[in-house]
Amino acid sequence: MKKFKFIKWMLIALLLTYLSLLVPAQTQVSRPEIMGCEQGCPVVAAGFPMPFLVDGVISPVGTLSINPFDILFIHLDEFVFINFAISYVFWLALTLIVLKLYRIQHP
C-alpha cells in the first residue's frame, strides 16, 4: 500500500514538472548548421528549474509547443532529457518536503 502512495507523489511531481513548461526561459544552444550560431545563440526554452524544452530547428522561430503529443511524437522542439530529469527530481523533492511538513503539522 505504501508503494502506491509513493507512485501517487511521483505522478504529482511529473504533473508539476509538465506545468513548469509554462515558465518561459532562454538558453544558449550551439547550432553549427546556422551561420552565426556555431558558438551558441539564445533561443526560447521552457521548464523550471532547468529548461528542458528548447525551440527546435524545424519549428517556427521563437515558438514552443507544450502540447504533450507534440513533445512525444512530432518532435518540432528539442526535448533535453537530462534537464528534464533534473527538473523532475527537483519537483519530486519539493513534493516530498511539502508532504513531510504536512505530516509534521497534522500527525
pLDDT above 90 (res 85): yes
Residue 8 pLDDT: 93
Render pLDDT for 28-82 as a digit per residue (tens, 0 to 9).
Answer: 887 777 777 778 888 889 999 999 999 887 777 778 888 888 888 888 888 999 9
Render pLDDT for 89-104 as a digit per residue (tens, 0 to 9).
Answer: 999 999 999 999 999 9
Residue 95: what residue type? T
The sheet carrying 53-54 orders its strands as 24-29, 41-46, 53-54, 78-79
What residues does each domain of the chain span? 2-105
